[in-house]
Amino acid sequence: MDDFDGFREYFGGSMKALTVVNSDEIDLVAKSPIERIFLRSLLLAFLKNDGLGLLVHPTFNDAASEVADFRVTLERFREMKAWFKEHKPTNDIATFLDDEMGRGKMSAEERRYCDELIFKYYYVPLDGSYHMSLQPRFPNVVASGKTVRPDIYFWMPTRPDINVVVECDGFAFHSDKEAFTRDRQRDRALKARGYDVLRFSGSEIFNDPVNSAHELATYLWERAR
């Protein structure tokens, strides 16, 4: 019972901490109130149905490159975790990393980053969960002479085949013929690079953000099967 209570306390604390991190990132990056409503509803859908299954990342300046780099870093972290489990040089991994920093084998910044990785991919296994980046940049995807910067990008560290771009289209910026054409050109350019593209209108998000978010969450869960 004590072990169960301890786990329940830890799990509850983890959920709260991760929710705060996700919410703060949304407040920092989301450009419109409608987008914030949509994203917060999406977070709630994941919390209700998929536990800790969504992690919000800061904006990517080069989404494809940064996700690739992230996967390399995560693989190295897994290798370190496996080595630590086999050799057990100290009682816990935090002490081992402190010792490594003390010996000058890693900087204080690298040590802090390891703490983040430990929380998200050692104690809370988010490597097989959805990750979300807001306002990501795709400098190698060009449409109408401009690089593409969609509203939202969903991906999974362990599933390179899953790349979902979501656009939230407000009527004011997407109602004329030129905008309609540009949107389709952007969609084709992204699809040519292997990205799925979903579009939600501003009115459907504003009128029913909960169901719009649930529709998106359901699509993502089905896509991950």
User: DSSP secondary structure string, 139-175?
Assistant: EEEEETTEEE--SEEEEETTEEEEEEEEEEE-HHHH-
Mean pLDDT is lowest, of 48-52, 104-108, 212-216, for 48-52
Bridge partner list, 201:
169
What integer is the mean pLDDT of 45-61?
A: 79
- Quickly state the pLDDT bin for 10 (edges 50, 70, 90): low
Taking the model in full, what pTM does it have?
A: 0.83
Say how many C-beta atoms besides its own lie within 10 A of residue 121's C-beta: 20
Whole-number mean pLDDT of the chain? Answer: 84
- Determine the pLDDT at residue 2: 46
All domains in the chain, ordered by first residue = 2-61+128-224 (3.40.1350)
Who wins on pLDDT, 116 or 158? Answer: 158
Residue 12 has pLDDT above 70, yes or no: no
Please state, in angstroms and rounded to a whole number, the distance separating the CA atoms of residues 225 and 219. Answer: 10
Please state, in angstroms and rounded to a whole number, the distance separating the CA atoms of residues 64 and 112. Answer: 25
- Determine the pLDDT at residue 68: 96
For residue 223, the SS3 value is helix
For residue 194, the SS3 value is coil
Who wins on pLDDT, 73 or 206? Answer: 73
Closest CA to 213 of 166, 172, 174: 166
